[in-house]
Amino acid sequence: MTYLICAGGCGIDTAAFLIHDDVCFVDDYKTGEVEGNPVVYTIDEFIHTYWKLRDKPKVYNCLGSEGDNTERNKLYEKLTRAGVEVSPLILSSFVSLNVQVGNNVLANIGSQLHHDVVIEDNVVISPGVIICGNVTLKENSFIGAGSTIIQNITIGKNAVVGAGSVVIKDVPDNETWAGNPAKLIRK
């Protein structure tokens, strides 16, 4: 059995990507089913039930992000405090050699992770992102859909890269960059 935390768009995409018949959703509310897969527990019910399960299931945090990972991180922390092992969710179309992935990472559908990429904890990579070789994504960064990050770049802690951007320079901590080429739009 595979449990997907959050029955939103990312959860639906993940269920489709996994192509499993044994996928169940965990969400804030029990709403029946999503794309034919049942919502079986609320978050609190799942945490309560997890330790009663004889065989520990695969659990993925499918809660998306709007560029602020706060809610996603709170949910991850709640699950891990309760002892639930949450696996990184890598739905990339291509993952090269020597890619290091931290905890609570979401690499969404169609993204490409090339050689020697380092992804720290709590990072969200949106659909269609291309991350070239020797790139580091620091903790809590967010990469918008369809962006490209060229080789030898560091995206700082809590940084945001806007959708469709082409990043050719390091992005400092706590800054939002967007455009082609990407430049600072907000600190």
Residue 113 has pLDDT above 90, yes or no: yes
Question: How sure is the predictor about 140, in pLDDT bands with cuts at 50, 70 and 90?
Answer: very high
Q: CB of 129 within 8 A of CB of 145? A: yes
Q: Which residues on adjacent β-strands are paired with residue 186? A: 176
Question: How sure is the predictor about 20, in pLDDT bands with cuts at 50, 70 and 90?
Answer: low
Q: Residue 88: is the preceding peptide bond cis (ω within 30°)? A: no
Q: What is the mean pLDDT of residues 167-172?
A: 98
pLDDT for position 37: 79
Q: What is the pLDDT of residues 93-103, one digit of tens each?
A: 899 999 999 99
Q: CB of 124 within 8 A of CB of 140? A: no
Of all residues in the chain, what percent carry a pLDDT higher than 70? 97
pLDDT for position 19: 64
Q: What is the mean pLDDT of residues 145-152?
A: 97
pLDDT for position 67: 67
pLDDT for position 21: 62
The whole-model pTM stands at 0.86
d(CA 15, CA 99) in angstroms, rounded, equals 24
**Residue bearing tokens 């020797």:** 134
Sorted by where each starts, the structural domains of the chain and their CATH numbers stand as 2-81 (3.40.50.20), 89-176 (2.160.10.10)
Q: CB of 133 within 8 A of CB of 95? A: no
- Radius of gyration of the chain measured on its C-alpha atoms: 17
